Amino acid sequence: MVSEHKTADVSFESLLRIFTVPEGPDSTLTKIDEELSRNLNKFLREHIVAEEKPLREIEKDFSNAAIPEQPEFVSDHTQHLLDTLVSHSVHTSAPSFIGHMTSALPYFLMPLSKIMIALNQNLVKIETSKAFTPLERQVLGMLHRLIYHRDDAFYSQWMHSANHSLGAFCSGGTIANITALWVARNNALRATGDFKGVEKEGLFKAMKHYGYEGLAVLVSERGHYSLKKAADVLGIGQEGLVAIKTGSDNRICPKALKQKITELKAQNIKPFAVIGVAGTTETGSIDPLEEMAQICAEEDCHFHIDAAWGGATLMSNNYRHLLQGVELADSVTIDAHKQLYIPMGAGMVLFKNPDAMKSIEHHAQYILRKGSKDLGSHTLEGSRSGMAMLVYAAMHIISRPGYELLIDQSIEKAKYFASLITQQDDFELVSEPELCLLTYRYIPAHVRQSLEQANAKQKAELNELLNDLTKFIQKRQRETGKSFVSRTRLNPNQWDRLNTIVFRVVLANPLTGRDILSTVLEEQREIAQTAPNLMARIEKLVKQINA
Amino acid sequence: MVSEHKTADVSFESLLRIFTVPEGPDSTLTKIDEELSRNLNKFLREHIVAEEKPLREIEKDFSNAAIPEQPEFVSDHTQHLLDTLVSHSVHTSAPSFIGHMTSALPYFLMPLSKIMIALNQNLVKIETSKAFTPLERQVLGMLHRLIYHRDDAFYSQWMHSANHSLGAFCSGGTIANITALWVARNNALRATGDFKGVEKEGLFKAMKHYGYEGLAVLVSERGHYSLKKAADVLGIGQEGLVAIKTGSDNRICPKALKQKITELKAQNIKPFAVIGVAGTTETGSIDPLEEMAQICAEEDCHFHIDAAWGGATLMSNNYRHLLQGVELADSVTIDAHKQLYIPMGAGMVLFKNPDAMKSIEHHAQYILRKGSKDLGSHTLEGSRSGMAMLVYAAMHIISRPGYELLIDQSIEKAKYFASLITQQDDFELVSEPELCLLTYRYIPAHVRQSLEQANAKQKAELNELLNDLTKFIQKRQRETGKSFVSRTRLNPNQWDRLNTIVFRVVLANPLTGRDILSTVLEEQREIAQTAPNLMARIEKLVKQINA
């Protein structure tokens, strides 16, 4: 409890005190707050990724399932959190953390997020959010306009309309994608004749009514793993998520897409949605959106674009063209907590047509009454925080040209890193950056040279050994904690489409300097030398190849 | 931008500055932070619910869909947020805000939430969360133990097991309920013989394989509206959510439940899940959980309990018995952002069996690899914040006995308010509080007296007029902004199960004093007198009745 006494006590008076806003700068809590800020700022300034401590060790601090019977002082518990939690968390904001889509955040979001926490609005309904409701609708309007470029008249007609919705704010891209496919499924299996719609009668009756043998959603083989979850949840089944092959550029082959749709239709399977990926998670590639939109129009499919990560590129007038065709989508997912630099928990899905979400609209007696402007009538989630205010604030403080600079520098940094990798004898660029994401692997120079002589079997064997080496380097680098790159598995042409483990780098953090990129390569090179067994096996194979 | 210059500029240097952690107490941002804290504290100390300003007016401030082309200074924008957003938000923490499940929060969560925002961990995987992962698993373990009371050996075996999960942390009760039903559906339609399971082959093939004509989830007619959403999303259809009638105590009738299951089975419809409600949203009633568990065991149904709101009652050894039978559930939803007093965005679902979530397990190449302890392999959501740390902190700082006091005082306050209402000539208690929630309505004393003489038609007519009066009072009270109660629609026996609009009060805020309860009634009484037309129509009807 917040108490001046030496031992924390449990009394209703002390409980009332913890719910009371402290007055004045000398209160215990104000002091704890200041001390905590100093500690966090110190932590954020440390340029390492993580302390070297195995998870098993950390788990010991979090092993008690009993809820404490004794209260702790706030000051004591804060120190406990700093020692056991903060010091063993990951510096996702470190300039050398270049392995995932988390980055340093604009620091002004720290004070502003206090507004969100302190006011604790619930956006499900106006009664618990008031001004936050129009604010969220405006944020959705801004993103809608960024994608679809409609005119002022459009937004003044629809943005605040009680019975319409330009999209939904949600906790992240997964819920955004599920929402888009939910809307698409319900529109494809809508009420006709005696049938009351899939939302009322369910999928089994819908299939019998429409006479389909199956449903399908088509996406490139590089589609995000969450789409499988979506297909499962929505009752379509993971097998209903049909993977279309990609070219060597990791983009979907439109011909293969068209052909698969024809095949499915011939089997009486309804391909009700096609998903274009604008920034694949593993290679950062952008599908040919215009061609896909054309196919969807011809085939009467809902066209969804998963731009959870790449959508922020629309902020840059210099690179917006990479997503050409995005404005033709029926729906688009964008995560503000990726390259819009907002804290975790800010996903959005936007719909071209303000009527689209009617297929999932729902009401209740005590809230979300018909005709109300309660946001909850068009969201998969119920109670939600006022996270949209941070997107709103960042849009105003950074502004579009500010975001443009951030996007541009990230893409240019990735191009620089790609050229740096290409210049090395002992590294191979596996996928070129389209946005700020690329993949590569380490191969000792003489091993690379031997590749030309290798037969298919030897190449496959070498690939396996290099996979093990890449895994070893990536794990060791992560554990050492100075820097972090992630890894994934691709099937590149240059490796005969074998399973190929690669390093994966995302360069969203504006604080990541070019010197760090050189250091990361140097560290990987050094770690490779600490795997003598693996290196010896590679040497042995190289000798066989060269023999 | 954070800049000393007079006009905000857009340059890469100024952008780098906003991503840089400020040093020292004299930085501009530190000053803005302190000023903002003072402003927010002042706001939180004001004991009103909301400024009187119509939504249409507020919308004018949030009408521009264009993303700004000019950056704003942080200080200017903060002031703008205070003026347009904060001042027109809802004081959900005000002691007189007794209409929904939001309450004042323990103030220590304000400084501690900075840890969550500043570290910006992503709990989907260990690589972006490290110590936050075991912390979240411990929080789930604590809630699991609170429900199921398993021994230390159980938790040391399962809590940190890579291939098991005691539950899922999620953004709220809706996602928690969907997760529970998703698990239940997939377990009911699991792989057998040639069939690969509903998760792979989808619902249509699953139904054909199992030979069912339909699926059903059974819940009392007081079940939360989100369950309809869940039935829709999961492909069961809203009609597959079968409402079972309740008694006059708003609890499900076990006989009716049993009978409906028998009927459904006779129609070859599979009732795969039954949901018990532990704290209905509208009346706070708790279903007879033990009897329901017995029926589910006999009928081989997944037994889920939606204790999103009432689950916190388990913290009190004095009232825990109200949820007797909760430990028999296969899964339980609890929202920490309700009566565990955590900010918005903290839902949980717990599963009795650490194997249960295998039916929705999923993996990906670059994260969630098999054998990893990444939390994302068992959640509907993907990227998620470290919100669990606030639950962890509150458990330690408040402790179980502290929560017990909070729960006890809320229930006792509701009992007091119920007796206060009963003592009034001109108010009628409609539903008794089981927890800290009750409903009532306003009826002038002489109107009540005339009720005995009224025939069915007159009573129905009177009921409609009183409905209008209740709506009028509730709206007016909300708009005036001094206090807030919500309203809902019930079908109470004393009103011949007619649609009856009632005031709905939730007394979770420990700062709500008894004086406020008296004032709320007084205000409602006064507002009633400002509806002369309605009152005149009521008078006219009363004269007819008494004639």
Are A112 and B389 within 8 A, CB to CB?
no
Torsion (CA) B349, B353, B357, B363 in degrees, nearest 10: 120
Which residue type is seen at A114?
A: K
Task: Count CB atoms within 10 A of the CB of residue B9.
Answer: 15
Q: Is the pLDDT of residue A241 over 60?
A: yes
- Give the residue from chain B lying closest to A486, CA to CA: B366
CB B360 within 8 A of CB B378: yes
Name the 3-class secondary structure at A486.
strand
Asked whether residue A170 falls in the same domain as residue A312, the answer is yes
Task: Please report the pLDDT score of residue A369 as a whole number.
Answer: 76
B400 vs B394: CA distance, rounded Å: 10
Between B18 and B429, the more confident residue is: B429
Return d(Cα B144, Cα A73) in angstroms, integer. Answer: 25
- Residue B73, pLDDT > 60, answer yes
CB contact at 8 A, A442 and A461: no
Give the pLDDT band (50/70/90) at residue B477. very high
A324 belongs to a structural domain: yes
pLDDT at res. A45: 84
Which whole number is the average pLDDT over A58-74? 97
Q: For residue B447, what are its two tokens?
A: 């109107």
SS3 content of chain A, % helix, strand, coil (to 5): 50, 15, 35
pLDDT at B366: 62
Distance from CA of B298 to the nearest CA of A (A): 26
Axis-axis angle for helices B198-210, A198-210 (nearest 10): 70
Q: Do B105 and A120 touch (CB under 8 A)?
A: yes
Q: Which residue has the higher pLDDT, B64 or A18?
A: B64
Mean pLDDT of chain A, nearest integer: 94
In this structure, the answer to whether residues B16 and B68 fall within a common structural domain is yes
Answer yes or no: is A151 within a domain: no
| Residue A15 confidence (pLDDT) | 87
- Residues A453, A533 share a domain: yes
pLDDT tens column, B48-66: 777 778 999 999 999 999 9
Q: What is the CATH number of the domain that holds A202?
A: 3.40.640.10
Residue B10 pLDDT grade (very low, low, confident, very high; cuts 50, 70, 90): confident
pLDDT tens sequence across B289-348: 999 999 999 999 999 999 999 999 999 999 999 999 999 999 999 999 999 999 999 999
Say if B397 falls within a structural domain.
no
A206 or A364, higher pLDDT: A206
Whether residue A410 sits in one domain with residue A338 = no
pTM of the model: 0.96
Alpha-carbon span B512 to A260, nearest angstrom = 63
Phi, psi of B39 (to 5 degrees): -60, -45
Residue in B1, B118, B214 nearest the CB of A44? B118
Query: Pick from B180, B397, B194: which is nearest to B302 by CA?
Result: B180
Quick check: A126 contacting B, CB < 8 Å?
yes
Domain boundary among B40, B58, B89: B89
The complex's ipTM works out to 0.95
- Written as six digits, the tokens of A46 are 């440390």
Q: pLDDT value at position A367?
A: 66
Residues in B touching A115 (Cβ below 8 Å): 36, 40, 81, 85-86
Q: Are residues B216 and B329 in the same domain?
A: yes
pLDDT at B365: 64
Q: Please give the pLDDT value at position A203.
A: 98
Q: Does residue B521 surpass a pLDDT of 90?
A: yes
- Strands B500-506 and B437-442, sheet pairing: antiparallel
What pLDDT shows up at residue B536? Answer: 95
Would residue B140 count as lying in a domain?
Answer: no
Q: d(Cα A212, Cα B333) in Å, to the nearest integer? A: 36
The pLDDT, as a whole number, for residue A160 is: 97
**Domain assignment present for B134:** no
Task: Assign A281 to helix, strand or coil.
Answer: coil
Residues in B closer than 8 angstroms to A104, CB to CB, are 19
Cross-chain CB nearest to A89 (options B84, B130, B399): B130
Which residues 277-306 in chain B show a CB within 8 A of chain A? 281-282
pLDDT of residue A177: 98
A-proximal residues of B, 320-379, CB under 8 Å: 335, 337, 343-345, 347, 360, 362-368, 373
Per DSSP, B241 falls in state E
Structure confidence by residue, pLDDT tens digits, A352-411? 999 999 999 988 766 677 788 999 999 999 999 999 999 999 999 999 999 999 999 999
Residue B119 maps to a domain: no
Output the pLDDT for position B25.
74
Q: B122 to chain A: nearest residue by CA?
A: A344
User: Is the residue at B300 inside a domain?
Assistant: yes
Q: Is the same domain home to A362 and A412?
A: no
Residue B190 and residue B283 in one domain: yes
- Position A1 scores a pLDDT of 41
Q: Is A111 close to B36, i.e. CB distance below 8 A?
A: yes
Q: Is residue B252 domain-shared with residue B324, that is, in the same domain? A: yes
The span from the CA of A314 to the CA of A438, in Å, is 20
Asked if residue B33 belongs to a domain, the reply is yes
Predicted local confidence at residue B5, as pLDDT: 41
Cα of B292 to nearest chain A Cα, Å: 25
Torsion of CA B191, B195, B196, B198, to 10 degrees: -70
Nearest to B238 by CA among A353, A247, A325, A198: A198
Same domain (yes/no): B485, B361? no
Residue A108 sits at the chain B interface (C-beta within 8 Å): yes
| pLDDT score for A365 | 64
* Residues of chain A contacting residue B10, judged by C-beta atoms under 8 Å apart: 399, 401-402, 405
Predicted pLDDT at A20? 86
Considering the domain architecture, whether residues A191 and A82 belong to the same structural domain is answered as: no
Of the three residues A43, A72, A89, the one that is the final residue of a domain is A89
Residue A27 is predicted with a pLDDT of: 86
Q: Is A16 exposed, middle or buried (0-12, 13-18, 19+ CB in 10 A)?
A: middle
Which residue has tokens 């039935």?
Answer: B231
Distances (CA, A) of A167 to A275, A330, A334, A347: 17, 11, 11, 11
How far is CA B376 from each of CA A338, A438, B379, B380, rounded to the nearest angstrom?
17, 24, 5, 8
Answer yes or no: do B45 and A112 touch at CB < 8 A. no
Write the DSSP symbol of residue A22. Answer: P
**Residues 418..477 of A with a Cβ closer than 8 Å to B: which?**
none
Tens digit of each residue's pLDDT (9 = 90 or more) over B370-426: 788 999 999 999 999 999 999 999 999 999 999 999 999 999 999 999 999 999 999
Would the pLDDT of B4 be above 50? no
Q: What is the mean pLDDT of residues B25-39?
A: 87
For residue A202, the model assigns a pLDDT of 98
Domain end marker among A70, A89, A108: A89
CATH number at residue A422: 3.90.1150.170
Do A363 and A410 share a structural domain? Answer: no
Given phi > 0 = left and psi -120 to 50 = alpha, else beta, which region is A417?
alpha
Evaluate whether A109 touches B117 at the Cβ level (below 8 Å): yes
Same domain? B360 vs B432: no
Give how many domains chain A has, as a whole number.
3
Q: Which residue has the tokens 């009183």?
A: B466
The string of DSSP codes covering A411-448 is: HHHHHHHHHHHHH-TTEEEEE--SSSEEEEEE--HHHH
Average pLDDT, integer, range B443-465: 94
Please tell me if residue A172 touches chain B, with a CB cutoff of 8 Å. Answer: yes
A21 pLDDT higher than 90:
no
Q: Are the C-beta atoms of B134 and A59 separated by less than 8 Å?
A: yes
Does residue A447 have a pLDDT over 90?
yes
Q: Which of A11-25, A521-535, B68-82, B260-274 has the lowest mean pLDDT?
A: A11-25
Residue A30 confidence (pLDDT) above 90: no
**Can you tell me the distance from the alpha carbon of A330 to that of A353, in angstroms, rounded to the nearest whole number?**
7
Nearest CA in chain B to A175: B381
The predicted model gives B67-83 an average pLDDT of 96
Distance, in Å, from the CA atom of A83 to the CA atom of A94, rounded to the nearest integer, reads: 19
Domain that holds residue B433: 402-546
Backbone angles phi, psi at A335, to 5 degrees: -100, 120
**pLDDT higher than threshold 60 for residue B3:** no
